Amino acid sequence: MTAAIEVKGLGVHFRRNRRGRRNFKDLFAGASRRSRPGQFWALRDVSFTVQPGESIGIVGRNGQGKSTLLRLVAGVLLPDDGSVTVNGGVAPLIELTGGFVGDLTVRENVNLMAGLHGMARDEIGRRYDGMIVFAELEEFQETPYKHLSNGMKVRLAFSVVSQLDEPILLVDEVLAVGDKGFRDKCYQRIDELLAEGRTLFFVSHNERDLRRFCTRGLYLDKGALVLDAGINEVLDRYNADSAAR
């Protein structure tokens, strides 16, 4: 069986400027593989393989490389060391904006995002109403995206991304923004996607959600992969380390 995702010796380092911000060139171009003064490794020597249909929970404190890993899998960030091989399309839900265009309306953004992911125009037309209803934006279809609230943006992003036919779904903390009613709908939709055999990468600090959706966990600390095991074992180790700190 061909792996859905294969990561070998992955390393990414960033350079901070005087204000502590990440340098743009370091985000999108591998400069030197040797760390220099003022640089830090967001990920270093990380290796693992994910089989189709696996549900992976990524665990760790803030700033330990979880979101960076998802961006590498999504292809929006290039590694300085190692490689990331992804076999199949990716549906990324890794930040609020999610690639939507502020001046375009909700309707135009749905057509744009679905089209960019390869959905045919007639298929978008068949699924459009369902996306809008799921996002609860029936009255805002002609509203520019930039005028939506954060909650509305999350609903729209999840609705569109979860309707894509890509085999790999990336979810990074965004569900924490929605209200309980919408989160319940999202959880049901994730259950449906997993039942279809999709591969899930799930970043969350919600232990209950991780145990519900994921069977395997990756524990990252200071950019290193500390433990790759069943999700319960990973969460127990993470909780023990957190208590020790």
pLDDT in tens, 3-47: 899 999 999 887 655 444 444 444 444 444 444 555 778 899 999
Give the model's pLDDT for residue 77: 87
Q: Classify burial at 223, counting beta carbons within 10 Å of its beta carbon; exposed 0-12, middle 13-18, buried 19 or more.
A: buried
Q: Is residue 160 within 8 Å of 114, Cβ to Cβ? A: yes
Structure tokens at 217: 């966990």
- Strand locations in 124-215, DSSP E? 168-172, 199-203
For helices 121-135 and 150-161, what crossing angle results, to 10°?
140
Which tens digits make up the pLDDT trace of 158-167? 899 888 889 9
All residues at 6 or more sequence positions from 192 whose CB lies less than 8 Å from its CB, including other chains? none
Give the model's pLDDT for residue 93: 81
> What number of other Cβ atoms are within 10 A of residue 173's Cβ?
18
Phi-psi region of 65 (alpha: psi -120 to 50; beta: other; left: phi over 0): left
Domain segments of the chain: what residues?
A: 1-89+204-245
Which tens digits make up the pLDDT trace of 44-81? 999 999 999 999 999 999 888 998 999 999 988 889 99
| Second CATH level (architecture) for the domain 1-89+204-245 | 3-Layer(aba) Sandwich (3.40)
Give the model's pLDDT for residue 32: 44
> What number of other Cβ atoms are within 10 A of residue 102's Cβ?
11
Pairing, β 168-172 against β 81-86: unpaired
Whether residue 96 is predicted with pLDDT greater than 80 in this model: the reply is no
Give the model's pLDDT for residue 76: 85
d(C-alpha 60, C-alpha 234), whole Å: 10
**Tokens 């997993």 identify what position?**
194
d(C-alpha 79, C-alpha 48), whole Å: 15
d(C-alpha 202, C-alpha 183), whole Å: 15
Average pLDDT rounded to a whole number, residues 146-157: 89
Q: Is residue 12 within 8 Å of 83, Cβ to Cβ? A: no
Give the model's pLDDT for residue 178: 63
R_g of the chain computed on alpha carbons: 18
